[in-house]
Structure 1
Amino acid sequence: MNDFQKNVIERLSRHTRIWIVGGAVRNQVLGLESPDMDLVCGLSPEEVQDILREQGFSVQIIGRHFSTASIFTEGSKVDVVQAEELEKDAQRRDFTINAIYQDPVSGELYDPMEGRKDLEAKILRACGKPDERFREDPVRILRMVKFAVKFSLEIDPDTWEQATDHLSFLSSTSRERITAELAGILVLAEAEKAVRMLDRIGYWDMYLPELARLKGLEQNQYHSLDVWEHTMAVFRNTPEDLYLRLAGLFHDSGKWEVASRECHVSGTLKFADQNYLLEGFKIVGTRGPRELEYKLKSLIGKKIRILGARLDQYPEIVQFKKVIDGEPANFGLIYVENGKRHFLTHEAASARLLADVLKRYTFSMFFDGIGKKQEQNLIKLVENHMQATLVFMPEFRGEIAKRPFKNRVAELVWKVCWDGRNFELKNIHDFLILWKADYQAGKLHTTTQNNIFERIFAELIAVALWQKENLMQLDWKLFRQYAMQQGLSGSSLGTFKDLVRKRAMEEMKPELNHAFLKKVYWEFKNL
């Protein structure tokens, strides 16, 4: 018990008998600390507010049905509710382990629901009738999961059954309260157990099907796990941080939407309603908005054969890979024998799904820093999570890369850390943590590949530190002179400056000399 809690109890004890209840007593029985405390007494919340305000405390009354007087200080909170009879108060509490009362003066315990007995037996049981407890407050279903995992408790069968039966009641609960409980669950030391428990109880199926449908989704030859089990492995590899746990949980959520199998499609290429069509299949690109225009426009009206990937969930769509030389002998779609399993553009699909999920919850309230900005960073992190694997594929495959290693490192760091206004060093930290979690959750790697991974990992950190330091030391004097000579002003000046900054960091050339500016200006003029 800290000094703040002692002061509140001492002031109120002058007017009524006080009992400590809930997590503070439970944690004391378990030998754990508790920064917050719940009290019950015979005073109304308004009376508590009047008494404590006279003593200089800040008190707020919260809730309509069961009003609570809440007293806050930095790092600690005390909630006070009115109770004429402790046994009746215990009946309406969530779980027996949270219905143990203690007199703060004598240390006497009052345990009408036998919560200590359940704690010793490691059982989590609802107070009274479980169906009534969950109807009163459906959020208790999420609290049940949190307590069971946090304290390694077995859930009483009747409590579990009623929680499952009342899961739909969560739809009428505020998203702020639901998010608060999920945020606490996702940062548990054994959060994976909680995620799986939420799966068994049906929470993901009912409220986040984006995750539930990953179960059983077969991957390619590079993975021994389905997408759900791979996601659990990545989630397990992330630290106890809400931001990174969400990244791990949703990083591959888009794979359901883009799961595909290799196929050949033959027929006469048509173009209608801004879509390329081949034997009734809509052909879509995966490498930028102009890919199909460049590859297919000149072939409209001709008989062609393409190698593509037909989407599992949207079988009328085929993702384009390449045109196969020669006129096709037969028209239609044929799956490639032993063809590849693809998840092309799954990173972008995962980012879109995550953006939608974040609108349904209020996780930004629990992020460090500016929550909404962190939401955008989280979406960007998921969207870019495959970049290191793709950029350094030649190294992992033992092939000769087309471009120098150092240049690719610097370009990736800049892409990850620069947000258009600031260089966010934290972004590379988060990116690397997620990449490592994903890498370790994939196929078994050779010792050589692991050494390559560690080399790239270290180089990305070193270059990020270099860019952070040298970005602030760029001398723009010669740039201004050069830009003035070229007659640049307004938005064109800003665009040129952005490009110069980008190229200086990517090429790791902090000196903006005339030759460098001339080279970047030529690129700028040809954008």
Structure 2
Amino acid sequence: MPDATPATSPDAGDRRPLFESAVARLAPVLPLLTELGERFAARGHELALVGGPVRDAFLGRTSLDLDLTTDARPDDILAAVKGWPDAHWDIGREFGTIGLRKGTHVVEITTYRADTYDRTSRKPEVMFGDDLAADLVRRDFAVNAMAIRLPSLEFVDVHGGLDDLVARRLRTPSAPEESFADDPLRMLRAARFSAQLGFEVAPEVRAAMTERAGTLEIISAERIRDELSKLLLAPAPRAGLTLLVDTGLADVFVPELPALRLEVDEHHRHKDVYEHSLIVLEQAIDLEGPADGPPESVPGPDLVLRLAALLHDIGKPATRRFEPAGGVSFHHHELVGAKLARKRLRELRYDKETVKAVARLVELHLRFHGYGEGQWTDSAVRRYVTDAGPLLPRLHRLTRSDCTTRNVRKAQRLSRAYDDLEVRIDRLQQEEELAAVRPELNGNEIAEALGIKPGPVLGEAYTYLLSVRLDDGPIGKDAARAKLVDWWEQRGRE
């Protein structure tokens, strides 16, 4: 194994301490990387660690990925690693990628690329290259275009990626207009890295994103969805979301978000809904539980909660009304918003459970505001819990996050009211097992009491008894049966 002090390019200057720190971060995987580098060198091939793992090593982060690049073609890669990995796969062979597993480590080795793109469809014509520098220039950002040659540990940074890391800046290796023309998804990656790493995009990158925002339309919904999800799951999504809105990218795939920038009238009769939504998202993130916490703590990062927080008010633009008395209203914006959220998330190809959960949270997020000073009946509390179902822990956090008033007394009053509601919910759940609330007669007992067979009518009877259970709480089978018979008789007379 070579000395763990990397060789550096001539312009490295005073960056050597950074190099040494990065190599120290890679120490757990250096033996593996060195062994692979020696195997390729023995066959006359180059090999380098590239991209995210190099960037993260300089940032003091541990990367789960080990991405390597080489001048070897796929068949030569397989020959070089023959007998070395515990397993390998070649489903990416067409694009020059061979995957390996060695112990707990997963490695992807990809042949140098010199792709050209069909700029109307974002489908690359795969062309293999022979030069590391040419491979690096086709990467998305300079901070991801750094490499460490193996086994020599020579640091290669032909595009100033390390300077960008130090400056916390995102630039493209080639002209941003050309880079984004090759792959418009890179514009979303800029927003995602802004959120994940806290980096600022360079002015020329921002300008190119604004100019080419419309070209995002050629990217599949699934790829856009994945980038949006990664952005929202970042520690601080605001910066990335703001970049998407300010450059016009959000208009292409989630226009409901920039639409929240409602023009505030001269009397300031309502708050800035867009800014409010970002604050609600940040407050919801603060209320997430630890990643290893129990389900009821909503372990973070939680995509459903974050999507609901971001989209909870998207029904407001369509429902805004200025009232004659001088106020402004958004009647039923939660219902309109739930429909809009459902439609948008479906178009982005989110899975059915995520779509259903987010839409339901948007629909329910205003329910608490009818609680007032705690005058809800136990029946109303039961319905709140039953309607939320397993989403109740998320609904708690979304509702609390939605209280963004600057009026300290009002904020304290709302907080105390929700504290009271949660206490009542806990008490009722302990007394009545609300999480599993159901009628006190099962289907067979209902059919026997009414002398009917399974079918739609039995479903109506079941729904009626469920409403009795929610309104009256546990009343016992005999009382439930009596109410059912009365309902049946009344139904027959109508």
One-letter code of the match for 2:170?
Answer: L
Partner residue in 2 for 1:129: 175
Q: Structure 2 CA distance, aligned partners of 1:3 and 1:53?
A: 23
Give how far 1:495 is off.
Answer: 3.2
One-letter code of the match for 1:62?
Answer: G
Q: Residue 122 of structure 1 contacts residue 154 of structure 1 at CA under 8 Å; is this kept in 2?
A: yes
Partner residue in 2 for 1:62: 92
Q: Structure 1 CA distance, aligned partners of 2:267 and 2:448?
A: 56
Partner residue in 2 for 1:356: 343
Give how far 1:428 is off.
Answer: 0.6
Give how far 1:153 is off.
Answer: 2.3
Q: Structure 1 CA distance, aligned partners of 2:187 and 2:481?
A: 62
Q: Structure 1 CA distance, aligned partners of 2:266 and 2:394?
A: 26
Aligned: 1:32 with 2:61:
yes
One-letter code of the match for 1:124?
Answer: L
| Greater mean alpha carbon deviation, residues 91-100 or residues 217-226 | 217-226
Q: Structure 1 CA distance, aligned partners of 2:52 and 2:220?
A: 23
Q: Pick from 371, 386, 402: which aligns with 1:414?
A: 386
Aligned: 1:174 with 2:204:
no
Q: Residue 440 of structure 2 contacts residue 465 of structure 2 at CA under 8 Å; is this kept in 1?
A: no
Q: Residue 413 of structure 1 contacts residue 460 of structure 1 at CA under 8 Å; is this kept in 2?
A: yes
Q: Residue 35 of structure 2 contacts residue 151 of structure 2 at CA under 8 Å; is this kept in 1?
A: no
Q: Pick from 74, 82, 87: which aligns with 1:45?
A: 74
Q: Residue 142 of structure 2 contacts residue 170 of structure 2 at CA under 8 Å; is this kept in 1?
A: yes
One-letter code of the match for 1:434?
Answer: L
One-letter code of the match for 2:423?
Answer: A
Partner residue in 1 for 2:367: 387
Aligned: 1:508 with 2:488:
no
- C-alpha change, 1:2 and 1:524, in structure 2 (3 Å) is farther
Partner residue in 2 for 1:258: 319
What value does the CA root-mean-square deviation take over the aligned residues? Answer: 3.3
Q: Pick from 424, 432, 440: which aligns with 2:396?
A: 432
Q: Structure 2 CA distance, aligned partners of 1:183 and 1:136?
A: 23
Give how far 1:5 is off.
Answer: 9.2
- C-alpha change, 1:126 and 1:63, in structure 2 (3 Å) is farther
Q: Residue 311 of structure 2 contacts residue 337 of structure 2 at CA under 8 Å; is this kept in 1?
A: yes
Q: Structure 2 CA distance, aligned partners of 1:525 and 1:192?
A: 58
Q: Residue 441 of structure 2 contacts residue 481 of structure 2 at CA under 8 Å; is this kept in 1?
A: no
Q: Structure 2 CA distance, aligned partners of 1:171 and 1:103?
A: 37
Alignment of 1:13-162 (within 5 A): 13-15=38-40, 16-48=45-77, 55-62=85-92, 66-71=95-100, 77-83=106-112, 84-162=130-208
Q: Residue 220 of structure 1 contacts residue 342 of structure 1 at CA under 8 Å; is this kept in 2?
A: no
SS of alignment partner, residue 309 of structure 2? helix
Aligned: 1:456 with 2:421:
yes
SS of alignment partner, residue 439 of structure 1? coil
Q: Residue 223 of structure 1 contacts residue 442 of structure 1 at CA under 8 Å; is this kept in 2?
A: no
Partner residue in 1 for 2:353: 373
One-letter code of the match for 2:464?
Answer: L
Alignment of 1:123-272 (within 5 A): 123-218=169-264, 225-239=271-285, 240-262=301-323
Give how far 1:405 is off.
Answer: 2.7
Q: Structure 1 CA distance, aligned partners of 2:91 and 2:166?
A: 35
Q: Residue 130 of structure 1 contacts residue 159 of structure 1 at CA under 8 Å; is this kept in 2?
A: yes
Map Cα deviations across residues 9-60 of structure 1 (whole Å, 9 max, x no partner): 7457424442101010111011111011210112223443576686442424
- C-alpha change, 1:229 and 1:223, in structure 2 (3 Å) is farther
Q: Pick from 306, 315, 328: which aligns with 1:341?
A: 328
Q: Structure 2 CA distance, aligned partners of 1:410 and 1:110?
A: 63
Q: Pick from 444, 461, 484: which aligns with 1:496?
A: 461
Q: Residue 101 of structure 1 contacts residue 110 of structure 1 at CA under 8 Å; is this kept in 2?
A: yes
- Mind listing any 5+ residue stretches in structure 1 that lack a counterpart? 263-335, 365-371, 418-424
Q: Give TM-score scaled by structure 1 length.
A: 0.72
Q: Residue 223 of structure 1 contacts residue 443 of structure 1 at CA under 8 Å; is this kept in 2?
A: no
Give how far 1:3 is off.
Answer: 7.7
Give how far 1:176 is off.
Answer: 1.5
Q: Residue 269 of structure 2 contacts residue 327 of structure 2 at CA under 8 Å; is this kept in 1?
A: no
Q: Residue 315 of structure 2 contacts residue 335 of structure 2 at CA under 8 Å; is this kept in 1?
A: yes
Give how far 1:164 is off.
Answer: 2.0
Q: Structure 1 CA distance, aligned partners of 2:157 and 2:61?
A: 19
Give how far 1:151 is off.
Answer: 2.3
User: How many pairs does the alignment contain?
Assistant: 427
Q: Give TM-score scaled by structure 2 length.
A: 0.77
Q: Structure 1 CA distance, aligned partners of 2:355 and 2:432?
A: 24
Q: Residue 476 of structure 1 contacts residue 512 of structure 1 at CA under 8 Å; is this kept in 2?
A: no
SS of alignment partner, residue 490 of structure 1? coil
Q: Residue 88 of structure 2 contacts residue 98 of structure 2 at CA under 8 Å; is this kept in 1?
A: no
- C-alpha change, 1:448 and 1:171, in structure 2 (3 Å) is closer
One-letter code of the match for 2:207?
Answer: E
- C-alpha change, 1:470 and 1:361, in structure 2 (3 Å) is closer
Give how far 1:123 is off.
Answer: 2.1
- Mind listing any 5+ residue stretches in structure 2 that lack a counterpart? 1-25, 113-129, 286-300
Q: Structure 1 CA distance, aligned partners of 2:471 and 2:34?
A: 61
Q: Structure 1 CA distance, aligned partners of 2:82 and 2:426?
A: 52
Alignment of 1:391-402 (within 5 A): 392-393=371-372, 395=373, 401=375
Partner residue in 2 for 1:288: none
SS of alignment partner, residue 14 of structure 1? helix
Q: Structure 1 CA distance, aligned partners of 2:470 and 2:188?
A: 47
Q: Residue 92 of structure 1 contacts residue 133 of structure 1 at CA under 8 Å; is this kept in 2?
A: yes
| Greater mean alpha carbon deviation, residues 511-520 or residues 499-508 | 499-508
Alignment of 1:284-299 (within 5 A): none
Q: Structure 1 CA distance, aligned partners of 2:104 and 2:467?
A: 42
Larger fraction in helix: 2
